[in-house]
Amino acid sequence: MRGPQPRTITLIGAPIEGGAGRQGCSMGPKALRIAGLADALSGLGHTVIDRGDVGPRDNDFALDGLAHNVGEVTGFARSLADAGEAALADGTAVYLGGDHALSFGSVAAALRHADRLGKTLHVLWLDAHADFNTPLSSTSGNMHGMPAAFFCGEAGFEGMLECPKMEATRYHLVGARSIDSAEVDLLAARGADVNDMAEVDEYGIAAILRRILGAVEADDALLHVSLDVDFIEPDLAPGVGTTVPGGATVREAHLAMEMVGRCGRLVSLDLVELNPFLDDRGKSARLMVDLAASAFGRRIFDRPTQPA
C-alpha cells in the first residue's frame, strides 16, 4: 500500500489567548511541540519546517459592538495571514494554537492562496461551536467565537484584515452541540452546512465527511481544516476551556482526519483551543498530534503504542 505523498509542511505557532474568555491557550504551541508534532509528521516522510511563533502586529484597530481584545486579535490575524500565505506558496501550513481567533488569519491566508490560484476554498470546521457571531450579535464579546462570520463576509469586521471572502455554503461545521440562537438564525439564512452531533450519531461521521469531501472534489477546490479540541468528548480531551459533553470519540475524530488525508486537497490545518493548564498530563496535546498525523497520511495500523 502506498504511503502519503511527501509534502513540505510549515509549522506556525500562534500563542494567542485574547480571543478566549480565560488564560492558558498561549501555552498551546509549546505543548504541541513537546508532544512531538514535528517528529510525527516528518516520520510520515514529509519535510517539516518550524517557523516558530508569530506575534501580534502593532495596531490601534477597533470594532463597533461587543468584542474584547480587538487590537491583539487583529494583530495576530494580520501576522498569521502573511506568514500563512508565504508558507502556502511552498506547501502546506499547520497552525499551532492558541485560541480559535487564530483562524481569522489562517483562513485569510488560505483564501488569498486560493484566489491567487483561481480556486475556491472550502472550510471544514470540527468544533462544538459555530464561531459565527459578530461584534453586533455576540453576548460574550469573545472573539474566538467570531472568525467564521468574518471569513464568510458578515458585517461588523470592516477594515480588520484584507482577504477574499467565501460563501457560507462552503463552510462545513461538524460536531456542533452549542450554538447561540443568533448564530442559528444567521447560519440558516446564509445556507451554511451545519452538522450537529445528533446527525453524526444518526448517519455516522463517514457519511457526513464523504458528502463534504465530495463537494470539495466537485468544485475542484482547496480545503482548510480547523480542528478544535472541544470537537472531541471532554473526558477524552480535557485540555480545553470550552468543554461541551457529547463530543466525537477518538475513532470518529481519527476517521474524519484520515478521510481528509485521503482526499488530497488539504492546504492548511488549525490545531486550536489547546489549554495545557487544563490538560491531564499532556493527554489532549498527544491526541491532537495523532489527529494531525492522520490528516497527513498515518493509517490506523501505523499508530505507535502509547506508553502508560
Q: Nearest 5°: phi and psi at 240?
A: -150, 145
Quick check: is 144 catalytic?
yes
Q: Which of 122, 129, 224, 254 is catalytic?
A: 129
Per residue in 6-23, pLDDT (tens digit) is 999 999 999 999 999 899
- What distance in Å separates the CA atoms of residue 231 and residue 214, rounded to the nearest whole number? 22
Quick check: is 129 catalytic?
yes
Q: Which of 53, 72, 273, 290 is catalytic?
A: 273
Q: Which of 72, 228, 258, 270 is catalytic?
A: 228
Which pTM value belongs to this model?
A: 0.96
Per residue in 243-301, pLDDT (tens digit) is 999 999 999 999 999 999 999 999 999 999 999 999 999 999 999 999 999 999 998 66
Residue 159 pLDDT: 97
**Among the listed residues 83, 64, 13, 1, the one whose alpha carbon sits nearest the alpha carbon of residue 271:** 13
Judge contact between 85 and 93, C-beta under 8 A. no
Quick check: is 230 catalytic?
yes
Burial 279-304 (b: 16+ CB within 10 A, else e): beebebbbbbbbbbbbbbbbbeeeee
| Burial label, 167 (beta-carbon count in 10 A; 0-12, 13-18, 19+) | middle
Classified as helix, coil or strand, 106 is helix
Residue 304 pLDDT: 64
CA dihedral 210, 211, 217, 222 (to 10 degrees): -90
What's the average pLDDT block by block, 10 residues per block, for the chain (308 residues)?
77 97 95 98 97 97 97 98 98 98 98 98 98 97 98 98 98 97 96 98 98 98 98 97 95 97 97 97 97 92 62
Q: Which of 46, 113, 144, 254 is catalytic?
A: 144
Quick check: is 131 catalytic?
yes
Q: Which of 100, 113, 172, 254 is catalytic?
A: 100
Q: Which of 17, 85, 99, 131 is catalytic?
A: 131
- What distance in Å separates the CA atoms of residue 292 and residue 270, rounded to the nearest whole number? 9
Q: Which of 154, 193, 196, 230 is catalytic?
A: 230
Q: Which of 127, 154, 193, 270 is catalytic?
A: 127
